[in-house]
Amino acid sequence: AQTVTQSQPEMSVQEAETVTLSCTYDTSESDYYLFWYKQPPSRQMILVIRQEAYKQQNATENRFSVNFQKAAKSFSLKISDSQLGDAAMYFCAYRTGITSGTYKYIFGTGTRLKVLA
């Protein structure tokens, strides 16, 4: 069974600085999707970034980028130029079912990010 591990329950970063959130996963599948979701105090889950496992190039969305190491099964999120609005809970997620068509998302335990002014 697939698992997703986030080993940092909480992180802090100074405004305008860079922070990296860690995520590792375990799977026997060769093709899958990985995601980072953000959950602010409003509780609404927001997709931050997505990575397809077959793509070697790391995904980037504005100030957010990932370091995807498929062999090491590692998927970290880098937030550059941190802003107060980045403060939230961040969840790493793995999506199974590429071949079966029956999608299933597995989430890590989350990392709470605090941004200090």
Partner 1 sequence: DVKVTQSSRYLVKRTGEKVFLECVQDMDHENMFWYRQDPGLGLRLIYFSYDVKMKEKGDIPEGYSVSREKKERFSLILESASTNQTSMYLCASLNAGEAFFGQGTRLTVV
Binding site for partner 1 (CB under 8 A): 6, 9, 33, 35, 37, 42-45, 47, 50, 91, 93, 95, 102-110
φ and ψ at residue 19, rounded to 5 degrees: -135, 150
Structure tokens at 104: 């299933």
For residue 64, the tally of other CB atoms under 10 A from its CB is: 16
Shortest spacing between CB 62 and partner 1, in angstroms: 17
When the beta carbons of 44 and 57 are compared against partner 1, the nearer one is 44
When the beta carbons of 35 and 68 are compared against partner 1, the nearer one is 35
When the beta carbons of 80 and 105 are compared against partner 1, the nearer one is 105
- Closest by CA position to 26, among listed 85, 97, 108: 108
